[in-house]
Chains A and B, each alone.
Chain A
Amino acid sequence: MDEIKFDEQVDITDKVCPMTFVKAKVSIDELEDGEVLAIRMNDGEPVQNVPRSMKEEGHKILKLTDNEDGTYTLYVRKVEE
């Protein structure tokens, strides 16, 4: 699998719901349209819910990768409203 290029990254493994999404949202809000954010999150509730929340915010999800350490990285391309 090709590595996905990203412009910024954020680690939300230190947060719990709903602050996981809030931290991810703050990060993506700072990007320019079309830039890609890599979000590192915990397994469980964050990985079940954060990708969907980013979709509902109108951004483009590219890939979810299993880091095999109990965390996942979600790559999201910012879509300006």
Chain B
Amino acid sequence: MAEKKPDYASLKKGGFMRQKQKGYFSLRLQVVGGNLTAENIRTVSEVADQYGKGYVHMTSRQGIEIPFIRFEDIEEVKEKLSEGGVKPGVCGPRVRTVTACQGSAVCPSGCIDTYALAKELDAHYFGRDLPHKFKFGVTGCQNNCLKAEENDLGIKGGMIVDYKEDVCIQCGVCVKACRENALATEDGKIVIDREKCNHCGRCVKSCPTDAWEGESGYIVSFGGLFGNKIYQGETLLPIIKDKETLFRVADAAIGYFEENARPGERFRLMLLRIGEEEFRKVITGAYYGRD
């Protein structure tokens, strides 16, 4: 019987990275928003012991890889992983792991539920074939633990804040909590400079009487790149108030990338080649709900 030849492209799509050691693959797993269940981890541990070299590698984007999987074990490994609820990840020109910080479900600083959003983004986009890799990252607040602007499309939680003068006790806490110097006390009242407000929500989080109310929103950045070339994702739209608009904008951005990028060209490099003007029009249209 002829020896089966590995189909590297489909293996890569299925998260198997060819190692420099012949016949071995480092298996990338699908992790969404950086969370794994205890059962997932047990399964990974068993596979690493039984089929790998008894260790895993944590990737820079919250992933896990199990190195030293033999080509002939791949199907068995996939099955074993699937029994424990673990799926292979992806490599190559497509939507990669959606990363997230712990967000408002766990973190006192969080302005949005990052994990819930990461799961939705994953369900919508994960593995979608594109001209080149495309990365989503979701961070809960301006502390930016998840480094939103490194991603092709970064989402950062924010708050649109509103002041209720009648319940304010003028304690002064918010004025000091604001790091943008957007707040000041004038004649015993708190005043906000909207130009300076970066939607961090620290006034809301710190106010003892809830005189600051915050409505959660999404600050989206486009075209981050942190590999051979380094570019910071740019915020090209106002803060987005609802998930429907967020997904409309993400659809428009990813669709624009799909239509306009050359094979093997990253989102940012496409924008640099053809200019941002048209892209801005497209996402602004999506933001306002125009086709």
Contacts and interface: CB of A to CB of B under 8 A. Distances in A.
Interface of A: 43, 47-49, 51-52, 55-56, 60-66, 72, 74
Contact of B208 (A49, A61, A72): A61
A63 B171 CA distance: 4
Interface size class, chain B: 10 to 19
Contacts of B172: 63-66
Contacts of B208: 51, 55, 60-62
B205 A52 contact: yes
Interface string B166-195: 000101110011010000000000000000
A17 to B, nearest CB: 14
Interface of B: 108, 169, 171-173, 176-177, 179, 202, 205-208
A48 B171 contact: no
B108 A48 contact: no
A51 B206 CA distance: 7
B177 A51 contact: yes
Contacts of B202: 48, 52
Nearest to A64: B172
A47 B173 CA distance: 8
B173 A56 contact: no
A72 B171 contact: no
14 contacts: A47-B176, A49-B177, A51-B176, A51-B177, A52-B202, A52-B206, A55-B206, A56-B108, A60-B208, A61-B173, A63-B169, A63-B172, A64-B171, A64-B172
B60 to A, nearest CB: 27
Contact of B176 (A60, A63, A72): A72
